[in-house]
């Protein structure tokens, strides 16, 4: 299984990440994009700030990729890309893209990927300084 596991401070190119997950044996590309919402709870905001414990995050992203490879053998490619730093409302914070032979396994692996990423990868969000009151 090909892997693209990354943490970046740059804006995410959702189309390029999904395109990366394709090859000539891929029958399904399933992606999830998590965006910064205008509200965090009931508070109107301008941006969120994502902090990361980078060394441990890399280890946990590898662990997650291993889990997906073992649990979903039809998956040919997996991209887990999370943006860190200050991210304005409307922009992507995370993209998970899965290239699989068939849609059922692609959907399942993508959902597992985002759920597990939120569970085990040490990335924390908070309202960015300067956010609206």
The yes-or-no verdict on residue 129 having pLDDT over 90 is no
pTM for the whole structure: 0.94
pLDDT one-digit tens code per residue, 56-82: 999 999 999 999 999 999 999 999 999
Map out the domains of the chain as residue ranges: 2-127
The pLDDT score that the predictor gives to residue 37 is 95
Question: Mean pLDDT over residues 29-38, rounded?
Answer: 97
The yes-or-no verdict on residue 131 having pLDDT over 70 is no
Taking alpha carbons only, the member of 73, 80, 133, 66 closest to residue 110 is 80
- Above pLDDT 90, what percent of the chain? 92
Q: Structure tokens of 83?
A: 């943006």
CATH code of the domain occupying 2-127 = 3.90.1170.40
């Amino acid at each position: 299984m090909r892997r693209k596991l990354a943490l970046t401070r740059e804006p995410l190119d959702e189309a390029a990440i999904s395109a990366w997950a394709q090859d000539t044996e891929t029958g399904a590309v399933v992606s999830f994009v998590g965006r910064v919402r205008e509200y965090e709870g009931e508070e109107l905001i301008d941006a969120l700030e994502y902090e990361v414990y980078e060394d441990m995050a890399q280890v946990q992203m590898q662990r997650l990729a291993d889990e997906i490879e073992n649990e979903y053998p039809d998956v040919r490619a997996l991209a887990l890309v999370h943006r860190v730093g200050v991210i304005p409302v409307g922009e992507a914070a995370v993209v998970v893209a899965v290239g699989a032979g068939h849609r059922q396994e692609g959907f399942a692996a993508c959902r597992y990927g985002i759920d597990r990423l939120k569970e085990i990868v040490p990335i924390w969000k908070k309202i960015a300084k300067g956010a609206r009151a």
